Structure 1
Amino acid sequence: MENRIFQIGVIASLLVSIYFIVRYFVRLYLTKLNKEVGYLMQIIPPKYQQEDTNSRGYRFAVQRFMDNLTACISKFGYERASFEIHADKDSIRFIVWTSTKKIQNLIKLNLFSSYQDRVQIKELDEDFLGKFVERNTQIVEYKQKKHFIYPLMDLKDFDSVDPVQAVLSSITGLINDEKAVVQVCLKPTKIEKLIIKKAKEHFRVGKSEINWSTIYFEKFETYFAFLIPFFPIAILKMLSGIGRSNSQYDPVLLLPDSDPRKVTIEKDELSDFSNHLAEKYKTPFNSVIRVAVSNSNRSEELLDGINQAFENLKTETQNKLIKKEKGTLKELKQRFIFPVDNIFPFYNLFFTSQGVYSSRELSMLFHLPQTILNSNIEHYVVPEIPATKSVKRRDSKSDLYLGVNKSRGKESRVYLNSENRKRHLVITGQTGTGKSTILKKFVLQDIDSRLLDGVKRGLLLLDPHEDFFIDILERIPNSALNSKSLIAWDTRSEDKYFGFNPLYSVGMSERDIDLVVDSNFKLIEKTIRRSNPKNGMGATGKPMLINAMKTLMVFQNEWLRVNGHTTENMKLVSKYAPTLLDVKSIFSSEEIEQTILSFIPIDRYEDLRSFWHETLPTYKESKNWPEIKQGFDNKLSQILTGILLYTFGQSENSVNISSIIRNSKLLLVNLASQNIGEEGMSLLGSLLMSKVWFEAKRIKSDERNPFTVYADEFQNFANSDFATALSEARKFKLELILAHQFFRQLPDEVFHAVMGNVKSKIYYRCGIEDAPVIAKELQGKVLEQETVEVPEFNANVKVGEDVFSIYVSQERSKNLSNEQVEEYVNKSYENHAMSKEDVEKLINSRRNWFVEGCQSYLQPTASEQ
């Protein structure tokens, strides 16, 4: 009877074993039949790493990535993934394959989070492994030498040894059709507590180690004991196990003192070993490590190089990787992982290279390089910085469209809202990077909103290039052709000229006149210093210029006071209002000087009285007076020549700046240096900016509309007015959008005003000198090295405390032909400009009017009759 029971037990055990064997091979067969297409994506690392990630911080990012990966994959059962390095003669790429789209999306989010958005991800359609063919491919697989519970090299050793960097070095320099791939396939799994328990017991006893047989025979003993004949033994064994788990069981105590395994183990050492086991238990993956080389006559050499890199994954007391067997191309392409059966582990143990790795061990086998030492590694130069929701929303038609923000594989349009426009915008970047392109887009948006949508916002464009001016006109809407709101001030004509008189002062108070004189002098002095940097106007030239300008401006209002503010007299003084040309005349002609001064109650103006009655007579009595006078004339002649002679020679302004601002008109000014020279471009642009600033402050608060000044290469016009406007213009609804190349171009006061008072900044590629400042402005989200390598039409933006990147597409297509543009410019000449002949007549008529006593009636002077 007992024999029969025993026989039944053995047969039952065999049947159970056969069942599990058959079940495993059925699962294996079905797994191999599975032809998942999967999803591929490429992880693109940055060229430069942040300083705080160079060792410990970077190691933490690597570790966090794999730790998080464990959690996110486990959420969807036991889906598998494959982390791979692909190489050919042209490039080295980091690839992730996932079995489902959900896992791919989770890995994306995990990557962005772990690397703080300093990675880029590109989804792929073509599988690189499809290029491998059987006859030219050699594949090897790796396995842990010891039981998988014993860890490979710890992450703390990452400072001295980086296996991935070594792998990259070994697959660099492939030639012709050579290809290589390193593949780490993984799938979440679980580790039995029995394994942890046995590992600790063996370590406690002489630091011995377990192997697969230790665990299997422990299991076999348990399973066998539960057969019917041995059931009482099984119960006793189970109770014994419970007793041991609830006591302070120490296997060392069972050993005799003479046993060499009875050694003392330090508490910290035991704790460290236990922590390793706990980590392995917490984040385990079933994994297969494959390496393949194709189309190479030096396959063994390449494989040996990779093998040497994996050899670094060891210490004297820990596990290591060894080449186990040659793999198959089908399994490589399929990213195959063998099914695991804890009851029937033989096949995996003896016939596969599959092992169990913790997330930290896997992070040593696959991570982005800490530094890009090889240009073959596909990388990006400048990070894609995500924009906040606040800049992705357009609240009004006055919001400026900046460009496209690319981040995490998505694209969003971003805007500069009306509130942020009030705090100005400065664009910085080298020539050819895209500054003018984005500035044109802004100008055209404001033109469209004014002419098509009726938005009450005017603008002034100061263009030192001419091409900018023409490009804008070619793209304006058709409605602009008949609009009185858009004025094109062109300086290309050699026959007709717009007029601008910075000394026109009818209706100004003495305080306003003093402000204008001071501003005009600074701008003229700055222009003169371009050719005479040491002296400028000189010690005598400065009081002569200041007092002459003030005298000519005071004269206009005093003449009206004497002769009456009638309509006829207003027209007359406007027609013959003194200009910068008359500054020279007042010192050249006694008649003109006496006529002008005769209308001014000189005792009411102490500064003028002092100059004309005390300072100037002293100059004239000096034997150097001819040289002083000649030097003064020569310096003024630098700015009163060519086109500027005919521009500053006109008494009336061709365009009323005050009306432009009040009525939200659009004024485009071509200041190209090839037309008016560098000095002329700088002076005229600066005077126009000064005039806008002056007139904006005079408008009552309830009558103000937003007005924007656009200035490309604004360093040519940068002066104290710019610095003041940047800090105060907001309350006058004056907004500045400025572009320049580098900080050293700006005067100190303007630079500090830009840094302190401008809320929004756009940075294109910059020079090395500006990189530290810009990197700091961008809050470290873009590194110094990256600021000097920003690709064309890409930029980094700071709006308040928000920092993000943008891509600016090419400018919009032309709307008007060249003929239509020229026709429109000629129309502007007809409406606002004066011919060369008429300007020359006006200059002579005005001089004669002064000489003949400034008569108060509109009749031809003797010279005109």
Structure 2
Amino acid sequence: MQKQETIYFAKSQTYEKRVGVNKSDRRYHMYAIGRTGVGKSTLFLNMMAQDLAYGNNFAIIDPHGDLAENILAHVPRNRINDVVYINPADTEFPIGMNMFGFVNETERHLVAANIISIFRKSWADSWGPRMGYLLHNAVLALLEIPNSTLLSLLQLLTNEKFRNSVVRRVNDPIVRHYWEAQFSQFPERQLGEITSPVLNKIGAYATNIYLRNMFGQVKTTVDFDEIINGKGVLVVNLSKGKIGEDAANLLGSFIVANLQMAAMRRASIPEDERRDFYLYVDEFQNFTTESFANILAEARKYRLNLILAHQYLGQLDTVVRDVVLANVGTTIMFRMGPDDAEIFRKEFSEEWPPSNLVGLNPYEVYYKLMKDGCVEQPRDGITLMPNSIHYENSNIDKIILVSRKKYGWPRNKLQIKI
């Protein structure tokens, strides 16, 4: 039997040996939890550096930016062309991300549902049935119209001439009926009450130069299917300190949704021919919608293998928390607060009380390892530092240049469709 590649993440303090997860067991997903500054980013960096060395394809969604920049420094020369670097703060060569780009008719309702889920999560404080109904019909209408973008929503709701031209081309009878028989009949005052909340939200996106540069482009310049099915390495730098938290969450959610859909399109590929794809998501609670439970439960058969990290359980709603704890194979626990430690207490024997989890030093962990399809008893360890064999700072500029050339568009030539 051929030995499987193993990604090592810690050294066992009990057995004085490296601890890792093989390819088959990574398909059951991995989950890391712990307070800020305890070593979660180093854990990710070490694992991704090994994935690079193995020739694996993966994505990293980084809401802070440092991890994305650090992994670029670990990209060996022979993998420079595999990297797709998305950095919305790069306003000189913005990459196109069109929510309303060309969609097959068979996928249209699924795409619409994903877009609505992203909006619902982003606007949870002001979301209501009326807003959802309006957006559902607006999104479905624009998905039928070539060259629509997120910014087209503004026109659809404010420009009657544009709206009429869209409605005339809509083939879905239910969607068309909404615009012709319901929306058009609202008195002007009521119309304002209905559309204002949406216009305020979309308007905020439109005035954010980072989002406008990307979501305003007609063509999505990144091929998510190619990344997942080829040898792609997708590095997403969402530094919320530069582009804003709302913008980071919207863009990150959109990218995660696209990776999910690309994975699901593998249904036509025999399972044993599907290439493993590893999706690393830091602060994953910011990028997950209500469909996340389905991703975690079904992703394994599509070879979409998740590596998730966040700080504390209170960041997750009850449904997501229960799904994560029930479905991940390998769990890595860094220092955490007493409330979380009490919840995880049931994972340990009496000799490891919750106080151990509260008092861990940086890089110290307790882990439950998935090995050969079975979860082992918890053990303690220290996370490994990244292997620096491929650490070549000189490659960072080359990677950025290649991604700009292949996927970006010069700002002075960018034609935003408004």
TM-score (norm 1): 0.45
Deviation per CA, 1:397-454: give whole Å up to 9, x if none: 2x211221122xx51112112221111000001111111111111111111111xxxx
- Separation in 2 of the partners of 1:523 and 1:735? 21
CA offset at residue 540 of structure 1? Answer: 3.6
- Separation in 2 of the partners of 1:443 and 1:781? 33
Are 2:75 and 2:395, in contact at CA under 8 Å, matched by a contact in 1? no
Match of 2:26 in 1: 421
Aligned residues: 408
Match status 1:490 vs 2:87:
yes
- Please report the RMSD computed on the Cα atoms of aligned residues, expressed in angstroms: 2.0
Are 2:85 and 2:236, in contact at CA under 8 Å, matched by a contact in 1? yes
Match of 2:192 in 1: 626
Match status 1:725 vs 2:295:
yes
- Separation in 2 of the partners of 1:732 and 1:589? 43
Match status 1:449 vs 2:35:
no
Q: Which runs of 4+ in 1 moved over 6 A?
A: none
AA in 1 matched with 2:228: I
Are 1:579 and 1:650, in contact at CA under 8 Å, matched by a contact in 2? yes
CA offset at residue 474 of structure 1? Answer: 1.2
Q: 1:635 aligns with which of 182, 201, 205?
A: 201
Deviation per CA, 1:521-576: give whole Å up to 9, x if none: 121122123xxx2x23x4543222111111111234xxxxxxxxxxxxxxxxxxxx
- Separation in 2 of the partners of 1:816 and 1:493? 23
**Rg comparison, structure with higher value:** 1
Match status 1:671 vs 2:238:
yes
CA offset at residue 633 of structure 1? Answer: 1.3
* Matches for 1:238-387 after TM superposition, within 5 Å: none
Match of 2:340 in 1: 770
Match of 2:397 in 1: 822
Are 2:88 and 2:211, in contact at CA under 8 Å, matched by a contact in 1? no
- Separation in 2 of the partners of 1:678 and 1:780? 41
SS of 1:506's equivalent in the other structure is coil
Deviation per CA, 1:585-613: give whole Å up to 9, x if none: 12222232222222233xxx343033112
Q: 1:710 aligns with which of 276, 280, 301?
A: 280
SS of 2:162's equivalent in the other structure is helix
CA offset at residue 745 of structure 1? Answer: 0.4
Over 3 Å counting, the alpha-carbon distance change for 1:495 and 1:814 in structure 2 is farther
SS of 1:402's equivalent in the other structure is strand
Match of 1:405 in 2: 12
- Separation in 2 of the partners of 1:543 and 1:497? 32
AA in 2 matched with 1:547: N
Are 2:213 and 2:416, in contact at CA under 8 Å, matched by a contact in 1? no
Structure 1 spans left out of the alignment, 5+ residues:
1-393, 451-456, 557-576, 845-865
SS of 1:496's equivalent in the other structure is coil
Match of 2:372 in 1: none
- Separation in 1 of the partners of 2:392 and 2:24? 36
Are 1:491 and 1:675, in contact at CA under 8 Å, matched by a contact in 2? no
Over 3 Å counting, the alpha-carbon distance change for 1:611 and 1:790 in structure 2 is same
SS of 1:811's equivalent in the other structure is coil
CA offset at residue 798 of structure 1? Answer: 0.6
Over 3 Å counting, the alpha-carbon distance change for 1:713 and 1:631 in structure 2 is closer
Are 1:461 and 1:669, in contact at CA under 8 Å, matched by a contact in 2? yes
Greater RCO, CA 8 A, separation 6+: 2
Are 2:74 and 2:392, in contact at CA under 8 Å, matched by a contact in 1? no
- Separation in 2 of the partners of 1:822 and 1:780? 52
CA offset at residue 820 of structure 1? Answer: 3.9
Match status 1:465 vs 2:64:
yes
Over 3 Å counting, the alpha-carbon distance change for 1:634 and 1:696 in structure 2 is same
- Separation in 2 of the partners of 1:506 and 1:681? 24
SS of 1:617's equivalent in the other structure is helix
Deviation per CA, 1:284-333: give whole Å up to 9, x if none: xxxxxxxxxxxxxxxxxxxxxxxxxxxxxxxxxxxxxxxxxxxxxxxxxx
- Separation in 2 of the partners of 1:792 and 1:623? 58
Over 3 Å counting, the alpha-carbon distance change for 1:815 and 1:664 in structure 2 is closer
Q: 2:324 aligns with which of 754, 764, 774?
A: 754
Q: 1:698 aligns with which of 250, 265, 286?
A: 265
Q: 1:584 aligns with which of 154, 172, 179?
A: 154
Match status 1:395 vs 2:3:
yes
Are 1:433 and 1:792, in contact at CA under 8 Å, matched by a contact in 2? yes
CA offset at residue 813 of structure 1? Answer: 3.8
Are 2:77 and 2:395, in contact at CA under 8 Å, matched by a contact in 1? no
Are 2:47 and 2:386, in contact at CA under 8 Å, matched by a contact in 1? no
Match status 1:680 vs 2:277:
no
- Separation in 1 of the partners of 2:119 and 2:411? 24
CA offset at residue 622 of structure 1? Answer: 4.2
AA in 1 matched with 2:385: Q
Are 1:437 and 1:811, in contact at CA under 8 Å, matched by a contact in 2? yes
SS of 2:144's equivalent in the other structure is helix
Are 2:335 and 2:357, in contact at CA under 8 Å, matched by a contact in 1? yes
- Separation in 1 of the partners of 2:395 and 2:155? 42
AA in 2 matched with 1:644: L
Structure 2 spans left out of the alignment, 5+ residues:
370-374
Over 3 Å counting, the alpha-carbon distance change for 1:803 and 1:701 in structure 2 is farther
AA in 2 matched with 1:436: S
Are 2:83 and 2:403, in contact at CA under 8 Å, matched by a contact in 1? no
Match status 1:615 vs 2:182:
yes
- Separation in 1 of the partners of 2:109 and 2:388? 47
CA offset at residue 817 of structure 1? Answer: 5.7
Over 3 Å counting, the alpha-carbon distance change for 1:438 and 1:781 in structure 2 is farther
Are 1:395 and 1:417, in contact at CA under 8 Å, matched by a contact in 2? no
Over 3 Å counting, the alpha-carbon distance change for 1:544 and 1:690 in structure 2 is same
Are 1:650 and 1:842, in contact at CA under 8 Å, matched by a contact in 2? yes
Match of 2:120 in 1: 525
- Separation in 1 of the partners of 2:318 and 2:177? 34
- Separation in 2 of the partners of 1:663 and 1:809? 29
Match of 2:408 in 1: 833
Are 1:528 and 1:638, in contact at CA under 8 Å, matched by a contact in 2? no
Are 2:49 and 2:386, in contact at CA under 8 Å, matched by a contact in 1? no
Q: 1:783 aligns with which of 337, 345, 353?
A: 353
Over 3 Å counting, the alpha-carbon distance change for 1:818 and 1:420 in structure 2 is closer
Are 1:690 and 1:721, in contact at CA under 8 Å, matched by a contact in 2? no
**Percent identity between the two aligned chains:** 26
- Separation in 1 of the partners of 2:13 and 2:308? 25
Match of 2:108 in 1: 513
Over 3 Å counting, the alpha-carbon distance change for 1:757 and 1:780 in structure 2 is farther
Deviation per CA, 1:733-763: give whole Å up to 9, x if none: 1110011000000122210111111121000
CA offset at residue 644 of structure 1? Answer: 0.5
* Matches for 1:42-61 after TM superposition, within 5 Å: none
AA in 1 matched with 2:12: N
Deviation per CA, 1:474-525: give whole Å up to 9, x if none: 12222223xx32222222313221111122233241xx21122112112112
CA offset at residue 776 of structure 1? Answer: 1.2
